[in-house]
Amino acid sequence: MIFSLELPSDDQYRDFQTLALNKLGLSLGNDKAYLLRGRLQRRMTTLGINNYGDYLELIMASSGAEELQHFINAITTTKTGFFREREHFDWLSQDIFPKLKKSLTGAPGQKIRLWSAGCSSGQEAYSLAITALEAFRDELDSGLDLKILGTDINTDALAMARSGAYPAEALDSLSGLKRDIYFKRGNPPDDQLHCADKRLMQLIDFRQLNLLQQEYPIATRFHVILCRNVFYYFDPIPRQRVLERLSTYLVEGGWLVFSLTEIGYEIAGLVKIRGNLFQRRAS
């Protein structure tokens, strides 16, 4: 039974605002207490807790790391889809990937690295893998080392991403041809799910990452970083720190891509090509 929660008090809501800002960089608006209630109701019911103060105390306890992750999973937005904002994938396939192909010398050990930062349940990373596989099929057969990193803070979303298994309706944005080539219906008892082809899964490494954490366990630099629809609720100060940090993970000539509506950013060391596209120009 799910009990009905009241809205948090002003003081309780401010405590959650502080927690979200410090741990995630998120700025919860003063008018979003109803949203917090909706996100936390199921989890608090599962725990048998109907007081926000008690729940916050559980999270903040020295043994509360596991519950903090449940809180993070509850309040982070995971909306995504295959080939969402298709313009970006057309741009990659028609412009950027052909340029990268021309830069390849054919020497052994050549690498291309792509990053889906804020990959949610994986659809963006798999869309990137499909686009890259179709662009570099011959080069991959000849030994090109192409890898995609998918990162997110939400462990529930990452579990789906790693499984590569999606309900049929999640594939509606794929053409019938792409769906048939890259996804196969699962076997019972999962025959209502469609599973990503192993060629896609072999290209992608999914990892948990909080963009606010002090050290990123990433030792490579990337030709393209997609970080789309991640910063809508970020506070401007931590957002700028993350933007400039992401820029350091680009190779010379590499691209940092935001969503079509994210057009107001400025990033030291990068050139804005158009509103949501930035490039690290060769020095």
CATH 1.10.155.10-classified regions of the chain: 10-75
Residue 70 predicted with pLDDT over 70: yes
Compute the distance between CA of residue 85 and CA of residue 160 in angstroms, rounded to an integer: 21
Determine the average pLDDT of the residues in 229-241.
Answer: 94
Type of residue at 125: A
Whose CA is closest to 224, among 117, 130, 119?
A: 117
Domain 10-75 has CATH 1.20.1290.10: no
Give the position of tokens 């936390």: 40
Describe the crossing of helices 33-47 and 65-75 by its angle, rounded to 10 degrees: 140
Residue 2 predicted with pLDDT over 60: no
pLDDT given at position 1: 52
- The three-state secondary structure class of 18 is helix
CATH 3.40.50.150-classified regions of the chain: 86-279
pLDDT given at position 187: 76
Q: What is the pTM of this model?
A: 0.94
Alpha helices (H) along 136-265 = 137-141, 155-163, 176-182, 198-201, 236-247
pLDDT given at position 229: 94
Summarize pLDDT for 115-148 with one digit per residue, the tens.
999 999 999 999 999 999 999 999 999 899 999 9
What DSSP character marks residue 26?
B
The 10 Å CB-count burial string (b at 16+, else e) for 221-256 is: bbbbbbbbbbbebbeeebbbebbeebbebbbeebbb
CATH topology of domain 86-279: Rossmann fold (3.40.50)
Mean pLDDT over the full length of the chain: 93
DSSP string, 81-124: -TTSSHHHHHHIIIIIHHHHHHH----TT-EEEEEEET-TTTHH
Dihedrals phi, psi of 152, to nearest 5 degrees: -160, 160
